[in-house]
Copies of this chain bind each other. A is one copy, B any other.
Amino acid sequence: MKSFINYPENSDFSIYNIPFGVGVFGKEYIACATRIGDKIIDLAGLYELGFLDEIKGLDENVFEGYTLNEFIELGKSVTNAVRLKIQELLLENSILSQDEEALESCFFDVEEVEMMMPIHVSNYTDFYSSIEHATNVGKMFRDPANALLPNWKHLPVGYHGRASSIVVSGVNIHRPKGQMKPADAEKPIFGASKQLDFELEMAFIVNKNTNLGESISTAEAEDAIFGMVIFNDWSARDIQSWEYVPLGPFLGKNFGSSISPWVVTLEALEPFRTASPMQEPEVLDYLKFEGNKNFDINLEVFLQPENSEENLISKSNFKFMYWNMAQQLAHHTINGCNVEVGDIYASGTISGSEKTSFGSMLELTWRGTEPLKLSNGEERKFIEDNDTIIMRGFSEKNGIRVGFGEVKGKILPSI
């Protein structure tokens, strides 16, 4: 496929992608959008001009909203049809390529559009599904010989996170303050976190509402997943380690999580399916699945100190996940827990087996004992004030590239 919009070969936003987001166009007008190369397209405008008229079920202009929720609630039969139609419209010699008015009014340079949160997050759950990450944490904080807890290989461990504090790429985060108890202190102290970390994760977004008591099987799960984003689960390790027993992480996490602005559909990721790691012992029936449920998505993390260049500090891959998204959703609903349009389900930190593929500073510096060396001569045990963390992700196969762009956030000093 070739588009009439030119873009470099390594663009994440090829004709094969067609992601969805929400943009502020020219600082005044808000609408749902898609992107190809470095052009952002106003979908409300495209709809008004009649280019999407033939899609059944798209009777109102759902693209005028401030979130994608209304659009994705239409379900895959509609959202897939819209995506394929946009793809067709972006091909060389399409009817759209000849329409001066549409090109003038609906196509914007990326610099002209500020991306907003793509969805209203109804509920947010974070899993813990990378065996390498769970093993690393177990080795550091518990028993190196029995790093994985007994339940870990039997169910995708997860917990509820805070929906309100999920922000879009570009929103900077103040270093959180809180209670912590340094190893050598007799009593807990109060102050700004000294062990601020990122967690490299991906997350999926659900497109349907279910009733309390209903379950979603592994076979049904992917139909309920609209698409994915990159997810940075900022973590204050010192606050977390003091608070988390026995009910789990809380203030060490809920001061902010960041997502990439473009939701890449499962359909765009279809060519990049791959086999899952072997699950041994065998899982219970409700967690069994058929087919390739993992996705080969290259992930990179960069740390950029103030007034300095980006340092690549981790290269991981979403395909390392032990538990896949279908299993996560089946597990989450097996007890009848209902899901809602706009729910976000994050993977947990995605680490590989190589040290260079670890998905957090905690693991990369092995709890601060092996600081990272940066190109400007500095070292880092954890994130310092005014450091920017950038995560990028893309899939590539047979000359086809589909990517997520980036999620970026700077840590500002504590207020």
Interface residues, chain A, CB within 8 Å of chain B? 122-123, 128, 149-151, 154-155, 157-165, 167, 171, 173-174, 176-179, 181, 187-190, 212-213, 236, 239, 242-251, 254-256, 281, 284-286, 331-332, 334-340, 343, 415
CB atoms of B251 and A331 under 8 A apart: yes
CB atoms of A248 and B159 under 8 A apart: yes
Determine which of B154, B255, B339 lies in contact with A335 in the assembled complex, contact meaning CB atoms within 8 Å. B255
Chain B proximity of A172: nearest CB distance (Å):
10
CB atoms of B177 and A334 under 8 A apart: yes
| CB-defined contacts of A336 to chain B, threshold 8 Å | 174, 176-177, 255-256, 415
28 CB-based A-B contacts, threshold 8 Å: A122-B163, A150-B181, A151-B243, A155-B243, A157-B243, A157-B246, A158-B247, A159-B159, A159-B160, A160-B160, A160-B254, A164-B340, A164-B343, A171-B212, A173-B212, A174-B336, A177-B334, A178-B334, A179-B334, A188-B284, A190-B286, A212-B256, A213-B415, A248-B249, A251-B337, A255-B335, A255-B336, A256-B336
CB atoms of A177 and B247 under 8 A apart: no
| CB-defined contacts of A247 to chain B, threshold 8 Å | 128, 157-159, 244, 248-249
| CB-defined contacts of A161 to chain B, threshold 8 Å | 160
CA distance A162 to B212 in the complex (A): 12
CB atoms of A154 and B167 under 8 A apart: no
Indicate how many identical chains form the complex: 2
Chain B proximity of A74: nearest CB distance (Å):
20
CB atoms of B213 and A174 under 8 A apart: yes
| CB-defined contacts of A122 to chain B, threshold 8 Å | 163-164
CB atoms of B332 and A251 under 8 A apart: yes
